[in-house]
Structure 1
Amino acid sequence: MDLLSFLAKYDDTLKYHFIDSTTFRGTSNRIRNDLIKCTADVVIDHIKSEIKKAPFVSIALDETTDVENLGQERFLVFLDVTSKRTAVTLFQIVCDIISSLECGSKFVAQSYDGAAVMTDHLGGLQVK
């Protein structure tokens, strides 16, 4: 809801519907989820547009434990892989993301947080 309030400052139509409308308050779970999905779709489309213009693409995979760490250029997705932290599963996730962004031919680098499942030289994600 905070994001909608912020966006309403810059969009008169949204401002009307969000603040003044008696029929739309954005408080139902369904409406909130729809708005989150719409916002995510716009952001992903923008990232895809940037990727199409970029000469190359790299990917960084890391677990996030500290909100102060701002080392990434673009945050694409958060996935809970707690129950499936195998190199094979992570490899499939990475392949799916690269495929969905249509950036396979521009993919030049990968980086990880150093966890064994990521960098193990025998069967880690990096090898796959």
Structure 2
Amino acid sequence: MDYKDIFDVGTVLVVEDDVLAAETLIDKLAVLGYQDTMLATDLLQADQIINSQKIDLALLDVKLAKGARTIELGRALSALGIRVVFMSGFNRIDMARATQGFEFIEKPISLSRLKATLQRAVIREPFVVSQPNHI
């Protein structure tokens, strides 16, 4: 099946500390037509990419090395209008709860689940966490 040109969203940021998993994911993204991908293996690299590139879609591994988490990064990106998909190989229920309101995909990621998740992420408005009103 040829998925080329199904998605036209621009640059995709992948934040994943497992380089092999990241390369596999980037290969799957290429099959789906995403040719412009950027990889960050930690939050510092992610910040550098975000500050130097226009990002249209972000796939974020919830738990990175040394206890780093990408949930706040995802919320900040979404507030900027960037579509966000969280991914994790850990307990699906806990991770889905932590990323409530955002698209979530469980690892290992199959091509068909990736396609379906990205379709949902691309067609919906970016999720913005509402801030409480202060008087």
Q: Which has the larger radius of gyration?
A: 1
Which structure: greater helix fraction?
Answer: 1
Is the TM value for this pair above 0.5?
Answer: no
TM-score by structure 1 length?
0.31
TM-score, reference length from structure 2? 0.30
The answer to which structure has the higher strand fraction is 2
